[in-house]
Amino acid sequence: MEIKVHDRILEANIRIAERNRELFKRKGITVLNLIGGPGAGKTALLEASIPLLLRRFKVGVIEGDIYTSRDSERILALGVPVVQINTKGACHLDGNMVESVLSDLPLDELDIILIENVGNLVCPAEFDVGEDAKIVVMSVADGDDKPQKYPLIFRLAKALVITKSDMLELAGIDLDRLKDDALSVNPKLEIFLTSARKREGLGGWVDFVTGMTTGRT
Amino acid sequence: MEIKVHDRILEANIRIAERNRELFKRKGITVLNLIGGPGAGKTALLEASIPLLLRRFKVGVIEGDIYTSRDSERILALGVPVVQINTKGACHLDGNMVESVLSDLPLDELDIILIENVGNLVCPAEFDVGEDAKIVVMSVADGDDKPQKYPLIFRLAKALVITKSDMLELAGIDLDRLKDDALSVNPKLEIFLTSARKREGLGGWVDFVTGMTTGRT
């Protein structure tokens, strides 16, 4: 029974997500759904990337969090429109939650919406919210065994952003193994190694977002 | 409706968890449920702690994972009984999953069962599996804002094990803020700062497990 209910919830979610997707398409907005565990560095990646994207695009942010609005306060400091979704305990964003806050964003002005999902590498992967692409985010400190252990998100994502490259040496992970494992789960995955703190490796990632937005990717 | 079904699932789970708890009590086994996000260092903590616990106790391990058995292979190398639960997509262990593997452990011989939950800081907190205590595990690389953002697990846990202390300087987190935030969510939380790699800070944590096992804590 649990599984049937779960399937019905997922089906209802897909309908709402498709409605979001049509709206985003009509408004010409590219939407990326950033998914990663707690502490993967999703907010720091946004903080480092948004100023680069703003040179060319209008960017809005949807921040998903279970209770606090700490992340959206960090994003507000960048001077971009941001709306907070507090899931009140729920482990992922869904299409309905995203739909419910869209009227709080200036959709007619935006080129890109970056969605930061709840810190969770598992559940958010199952819930389409109407995005153009899922982006999986993990840090070098998370270890090199994540693609095989959490394959769904690596399979569904269009890009993997590996964060905190400034900790690479100390983390002692096998970066080639991580990349090979990720590509064995998803051969088309684009992989970027970044450090938000050192502002390194962001160019390729920003080019990827730019390509998604201008329709080149 | 989603919420009602969720409540019914949780209620059914509590009944099974209580059955597990009674069995553990009858057998005189202390059971700890380790919960943390992907890459928090749960397996490495087990690898470093179990040899110390084995000086005095018989230890068994239940490894929860979505698909792979990589972690249980690491634990097997320590020469302790280990059973693997693959949740096949599910984001947490529940009472039923744990019950279903107990016959594969030598319960009459064990003093301690350490359960490594699925890598997820959110969902496993909701599902009692019959443990004596939940232990929340996070690394210094995860940042200092986790207790407020994921309060449920910090509220329910008896101890917080902060891992990867060898990366503390590079991670640049405010350890006092982390501890204060954790204690503001749960004033009784015991906090241990450890490095599995450097084999540092394990004494306090092992003493805590020892106290739980001998009934002093």
- Give the CATH class of A2-214: alpha beta
Assess contact for B194 and B202: CB atoms under 8 A. Answer: yes
Using the beta-carbon criterion (under 8 Å), do A39 and B142 form an inter-chain contact?
yes
Global confidence as pTM = 0.94
B contact residues 77-96, partner A, Cβ 8 Å cutoff:
89, 91
- Say whether B68 and A146 touch across the interface (CB within 8 A): no
* Residue in chain A nearest B3 by alpha carbon: A90
Handedness of CA A122, A123, A124, A128 (dihedral sign): positive
pLDDT of residue B1: 44
Give the phi and the psi of residue B200 in degrees, each rounded to 5.
-115, 145
Predicted confidence (pLDDT) at residue A111 exceeds the cutoff of 90:
yes
- CA distances for B114 relative to A27, B26, B36, B45, B79, angstroms: 52, 17, 14, 11, 14
CA–CA distance, B92 with A3 (Å, rounded to integer):
15
Out of B66, B138, B149, the one facing A150 most closely (by C-beta) is B66
Q: Sorting pLDDT into bands at 50, 70 and 90, what band is A216? A: low
Would the CB atoms of A39 and B38 count as touching at under 8 Å? no
Q: Which residues of chain B make contact with A37, given a CB cutoff of 8 A?
A: 37-39, 119-121
**Tens place of pLDDT per residue across chain B (217 aa):** 455 777 888 889 999 999 999 999 999 999 999 999 999 999 999 999 999 999 999 999 999 999 889 999 999 999 999 999 999 889 999 999 999 999 999 999 999 999 999 999 999 999 999 999 999 999 999 999 999 999 999 999 999 999 999 999 999 999 999 999 999 999 999 999 999 999 999 999 999 999 999 986 5
- Dist CA B166 CA B48 (whole Å): 14
pLDDT of residue A5: 75
What pLDDT score does A80 carry?
Answer: 97
Instruction: Specify whether the CB–CB gap between A24 and A130 falls below 8 A.
Output: yes
Q: Which residues contact B156 (CB under 8 A, 6 or more apart)?
A: B125, B134
Contact A138/B39, CB-based, under 8 Å? Answer: yes
| Residue B143 in contact with partner chain A when CB distance is under 8 A | yes
Closest CA to A62 of A51, A38, A48, A46: A46
Mean pLDDT to the nearest integer, A76-103? 96
Nearest to A60 by CA among A106, A16, A2: A106
ipTM metric = 0.91
Helix (H) or strand (E) holding A159, with range, is strand A159-163
Q: How many C-beta neighbours within 10 Å does residue B53 have?
A: 21
What residue spans define the domains of chain A?
Answer: 2-214
State the average pLDDT over residues A103-131.
Answer: 97
Share of chain A above pLDDT 90, in %: 92
DSSP string of chain B, one letter each residue: -HHHHHHHHHHHHHHHHHHHHHHHHHHT-EEEEEE--TTS-HHHHHHHHHHHHTTT--EEEEEEESS--HHHHHHHTTT--EEEEE-TT-SS--HHHHHHHGGGS-TTT-SEEEEE--S-SSGGGG---S-SEEEEEEEGGG-S-HHHHSHHHHHH-SEEEEE-GGGHHHHT--HHHHHHHHHHH-TT-EEEE-BTTTTBSHHHHHHHHHHHHHT--
Rounded CA separation B4/A42 (Å): 32
Q: Do B164 and A152 make contact, defined as CB atoms within 8 angstroms? A: no
Q: Is B39 on the interface with A (CB under 8 A)?
A: yes
Closest chain B residue to the Cα of A171, Cα to Cα: B167
Calculate the alpha carbon distances from B203 to A117, B48, B53, B79 in Å: 37, 11, 10, 21
What pLDDT is recorded for position B6?
Answer: 78
CB neighbour class for A15 (10 Å; exposed up to 12, middle 13-18, buried from 19): exposed
Cα dist. B4→A15, A166, B94, B161 in Å?
A: 22, 46, 18, 34
The yes-or-no verdict on residue A136 having pLDDT over 90 is yes
Contacts with A143 from chain B: Cβ below 8 Å: 39
Say if residue B146 is exposed, middle or buried (CB neighbours under 10 Å; 0-12, 13-18, 19+): buried
- To which residue do tokens 């002093």 refer? B216
Phi, psi of B85 (to 5 degrees): -110, 120
